[in-house]
A and B are shown apart, each in its own frame.
Chain A
Amino acid sequence: MNHATAATYAPSRRNARRMGAIARYTLLEAWRNRLIVLVIAAVALLTLLSLFARELAITESGRLQTAILASTLRVASVFLIALHILNGLTREFNDKVLELMLSLDLPRPAYLLGKFLGYAIVALAVAAIATVPVATFAPIDSALAWGCSLAWELLIIAALSVFCITTFTQLLPAAAFVTAFYLLARSITAIQLMSGSSLLGADTLGQKVSAVLADALAIALPRLDAYTQTAWLVNDAGGQPALFNLLLQTTVYVGLLLAAAMFDLYRKNF
């Protein structure tokens, strides 16, 4: 190893170690915030709710229970992960923890990637916990596909939350943006289809503009309606064939969001 290689190797290894340390402390923060306990409690409550719904059903009770359980677990997981990340990072901004970190010999991307790594592990843990009850009520291969898809969805939400809080630095606008983004990403396909067809029989300028707008939005958003579908669990068609495309979309979008977050963080003048 020559001097030049050693010089570039040593900082990157040191940065990797620092990122690991930040990720570890992010995990510790999630543990001490009792996030995992909260997730387990939410999963248990939602499972009870689905059992209650099962008792109400006259027919297809198992199907109804699985559908209610899966859809509520999905939303609850997204909600908890997003709020946990937004809250944690807002506190770091407000308590000047970030400034303290950056005053050390720590590159900004290392801090951001370390935080994201920690949150990504938390997101994977949340997805795993949420998949357990689903797997007991649905076929195991479908439940695993559902769980993988949920994990990738949560990774996107984690990256989005990191990006939002880096950009807005305040909880309310960041939470509002994440919520709006999530709702839009889950309904963009329907919006695109509706705006593309003349439902009212009128081919007006307004309709054309709305169709173009919907198409433009669809380009910028991941199609979250294709992720974590309850239909995989209750219908014969599993979600395995879709998993590769979803993984590809997740990789690209998480990369894009993290790059955008780093860009914003680099430009911040503390």
Chain B
Amino acid sequence: MAERVVSTVPGALLALLAAGLVSQLALKALEPRPAATAADLPSPPSITTLRLASLGEPTATANLLSLYLQAFDTQPGISIPFKDLDYDRVESWLVRILELDPQGQYPLLMASQVYSQVPDENKQRQMLDLAYRQFLLDPNRRWRWLAHATIMAKHRVNDPSLALRYARAINRYATSAEVPHWAQQMHIFVLEDMGEVETAKILLGGLLASGAITDAHEARFLTQRLNALQAAEKSSPVSRR
């Protein structure tokens, strides 16, 4: 449809349009900028309610909930320190999201890489424990989060026994061919760090002898580690890295 020229529009209407625009701009200029306020994280709804609300799209709902939970730390205009969050509720949300979408990895990433980074040992342990419990439900898919939890337990929480427990769980339950050897061998290095050189040596030697290592680089690296362990044992009664 062709348009008539602007001059056909009455001047009064143009004035009204301009007045409307100016009023809107003035109103917005006078309006205070929106202020951010922190809100507490609520408890998650029950899994039944969530399934009902998902309208047959549990995966999409789980992803949206992950974003919601993530956005809770960074509410509009405000960034809430993780340590200020109620971790029991955070854990409930993460578990609920995993129940909705068991194949999703997002909640475990958040547990092991985000929520466990707070300078609060109890909260760190809570998240690591969540990663461990969820790993046991689906080891071959969730091993990487427990591997990260192992490193966290060893270096951040400084609890080698906990790290060993996690590493042994990976070795024992994550048996799929897709699980890399470095993850399955983590318990050896944890043992070594704990001063359990003899055990580490036996495990490492056994692993090399079993022929499970097919990658030449990996085999060479592990052999070097075994040699280093043996050399250290000769020079010192207790070997520590």
Contacts and interface: CB of A to CB of B under 8 A. Distances in A.
**Tier of interface size on chain B:** 20 to 34
Contacts, number: 85
Contacts of B14: 263
Contact of B77 (A56, A194, A259, A266): A194
Given A218-B28, A255-B16, A255-B23, A196 B77 contact: yes
B27 interface: yes
A15 interface: no
Contacts of A219: 24-25, 28
Interface stretch (B5-13, B167-175, B225-233): B5-13
B20 interface: yes
Interface string A243-270: 0000011001101110110110011111
Contact of B21 (A197, A248, A256, A262): A256
Contacts of B16: 255, 259, 262
A56 to B, nearest CB: 6
Contact of A248 (B10, B13, B19, B27): B27
A93 B94 CA distance: 53
A264 B3 CA distance: 9
A266 B27 contact: no
A197 B73 CA distance: 13
A266 B17 CA distance: 13
B34 A189 contact: yes
A104 B4 CA distance: 19
B76 A194 contact: yes
A190 interface: yes
B49 interface: yes
A237 interface: no
B34 A192 contact: yes
Contacts of A193: 34, 36, 76-78
Given A218-B28, A248-B27, A268-B1, A263 B20 contact: no
A263 B8 CA distance: 10
Nearest to A192: B34
Contacts of A223: 31, 34
A220 interface: yes
Contacts of A257: 20
B54 interface: no
A88 interface: no
B74 interface: yes
Interface string A5-29: 0000000000000000000000000
Which of B20, B21, B36 has the most chain A CB within a 10 Å cutoff?
A: B20
Given A194-B76, A259-B16, A220 B36 contact: no
Contacts of B76: 189-190, 192-194, 197
12 contacts: A193-B36, A194-B76, A197-B79, A218-B28, A220-B24, A223-B31, A252-B23, A253-B24, A257-B20, A267-B6, A268-B1, A270-B1
Given A263-B9, A269-B4, 20 more contacts: A56-B49, A189-B34, A193-B78, A194-B74, A197-B74, A197-B77, A199-B79, A219-B24, A219-B25, A248-B27, A252-B20, A253-B24, A256-B17, A256-B20, A257-B20, A260-B20, A266-B13, A268-B4, A269-B1, A269-B3
